[in-house]
Amino acid sequence: MDLRDRPEDQAFREEVREWLADHVVGEFAALGGRGGSGDETFGFEVRREWERVLAADHWIGIGWPVEHGGRGASIAQQVIFNEEYVRAKAPGRASILGEGLVGPTIMQYGSKEQKERFLPPILAGEELWCQGYSEPNAGSDLANVATKAERDGDEWVITGQKVWTSLAHQSDWSFVVCRTEAGSARHKGLSYLLVPMDQPGVEIRPIVQVTRTAEFNEVFFDGARTAAANVVGEVGDGWRVALATLSFERGVGLLGHQLSFRRELDHLLATAAGNGRNAEPVVRQRLAQSFIELEILRLNTLRSLSGFDGPGAPPEASIAKLYWASWHQRFAELAIDVVGLDGVVAEGFPYELDEFQRIFLFSRSETIYGGSNEIQKNIIGERVLGLPPEPKGTAR
């Protein structure tokens, strides 16, 4: 694997770098690269405007095929874009669920009308999306979904509860897994509906997290409606469509997230140099170890992407999810140790957490969302190693 840019990629890198230098200015630069995962309430209105700036020059959906309005950028170019984006401290993206999850799903399974209706507003940065999968009794065990949708003339009527719905309060639409066949069980009888969020039958209740912000929500559907045509794939075949979306989640989209870790590590190294902790033997060992592990992550991610023909990720992508989520938690513990007592003190109320405190608290969730560590190990065991499936009845 040659990690150097090819000549055409060098030109692309220059183009991205120049564009970012020209546009990450003023209120966008003032965000300092914040607003990413777990920090999405920060500067939301400015970040929403930033999406339109990106869109105006076709920087949303760069990996989407040209026929769907993207640039058809290669994986190498998407890597370059993400690298430069993080380096330029551009604002945390507000539309990743549309661009990275439902957009590719509609491209794969949607009708012509759905592609025409839903893809352009994603590329324009105009419509934001959230993911309506998890329920109180359906998380890892997603097939236990109980939210139901019934036909009423030209519409579906949806009743039930979703939970942990990230960014529901900022979203225009949700992709919702519902039970459309009464009496069906498990993977059968589910459908994948596109549901407008701004309507009387949808109630969004924020869930305040330990970081004291509320990035995710409970969503109650009580007679919510969507057009009959807003089913992606066949009615009753929603399980297949829902799994396709999950495979996009584990694909190239995770890369930008990982690249920001290097910036956090650099900040920690500077902090340790500033307070003298970098002279302590055990701290030095842990910093070096953290750096080594992050390099392993970077090189392995690039290696897996170099053989990746996307858009959905292979089961091996679970290794990267397990690895980065666990690494980030260890890194956050190290960061708090390096900062010392100040790391566990926040001033006043309502208090503003500093970067390491925020990372420390939010990283607890990273081994849960997008498939918990245990679920990733199940996927690796069964689909990569060919181990026997979990005994029925012990899983929940």
Ligand X SMILES: Cc1cc2nc3c(=O)[nH]c(=O)nc-3n(C[C@H](O)[C@H](O)[C@H](O)COP(=O)(O)OP(=O)(O)OC[C@H]3O[C@@H](n4cnc5c(N)ncnc54)[C@H](O)[C@@H]3O)c2cc1C
Residues with catalytic function: 249
Q: Which is nearer to ligand X, 339 or 361 (CB)?
A: 361
Contact flag: residue 105 with ligand X (CB under 6 A) = no
Q: 336: which 2 tokens?
A: 């708090």
CA dist 158 and 202 (Å) reads: 9
133 binds ligand X, rule: CB under 6 A = yes
Q: Is 378 in the site for ligand X (CB under 6 A)?
A: yes
Binding region for ligand X (CB under 6 A) out of 45-53, 118-126, 138-146, 241-249: 138-146
Q: Shortest Cβ contact with ligand X: which residue? A: 139
342 binds ligand X (CB under 6 A): no
Please tell me the distance from the alpha carbon of residue 69 to that of residue 62, in angstroms, as a whole number: 9
Alpha helices in the chain (DSSP H): 7-23, 26-30, 44-56, 75-87, 96-97, 103-109, 112-123, 238-249, 254-275, 281-306, 317-339, 355-362, 373-379
Q: How far is the CB of 36 from ligand X (least distance, A)?
A: 13
* Nearer residue to ligand X within complex by CB, 70 or 256: 256
* C-alpha 42: how far from chain center: 16
- Asked if 164 touches ligand X (CB under 6 A), the answer is yes
Q: Rounded distance, CA 184 to CA 190, Å?
A: 8
User: Could you tell me which stretch among 1-9, 46-54, 164-172, 333-341 binds ligand X (CB under 6 A)?
Assistant: 164-172
CB burial class (10 A; 0-12, 13-18, 19+) of residue 167? Answer: buried
283 touching ligand X, by CB under 6 A: no
Least distance (Å) between residue 375 CB and ligand X: 6
Nearer to ligand X by C-beta: 133 or 327? 133
Q: Which is nearer to ligand X, 4 or 396 (CB)?
A: 396
Taking the complex as a whole, the smallest distance from the CB of residue 147 to ligand X amounts, in Å, to 11
- Pick the closer one to ligand X by CB: 52 or 186: 186
Over the window 205 to 234, marking each residue x when it contacts ligand X by CB under 6 A and - when it does not, the resulting string is -----------x------------------
User: Strands 190-196 and 202-207: what pairing?
Assistant: unpaired
Find out whether 175 and 194 touch, Cβ atoms under 8 Å.
yes
Nearer to ligand X, 131 or 290 (CB): 131
Interaction of residue 134 with ligand X, rule CB under 6 A: yes
Least distance to ligand X, CB of residue 325, Å: 11
Q: What is the C-alpha separation between 195 and 311, in angstroms, rounded?
A: 24
- The distance between the two most distant Cα atoms of the chain, rounded to a whole number of Å, is 71
Q: Which of 77, 114, 147, 166 binds ligand X (CB under 6 A)?
A: 166
Q: Which residue has the tokens 């060919």?
A: 386
41, 208 Cβ separation under 8 angstroms: no
Could you tell me the smallest distance in angstroms from the CB atom of residue 225 to ligand X? 21
**DSSP-assigned states of every residue in 182-230:** TT--TTTTEEEEEEESSSTTEEEEEE--TTS---EEEEEEEEEEEETT-
Q: Is 392 in the site for ligand X (CB under 6 A)?
A: no
Total number of residues that touch ligand X (CB under 6 A): 21
- Answer yes or no: are the C-beta atoms of 361 and 212 closer than 8 Å: no
Q: Does 369 bind ligand X (CB under 6 A)?
A: yes
| Residues in touch with ligand X (CB under 6 A) | 130-131, 133-134, 139-141, 164-166, 216, 365, 368-369, 372, 374-375, 378, 390, 395-396
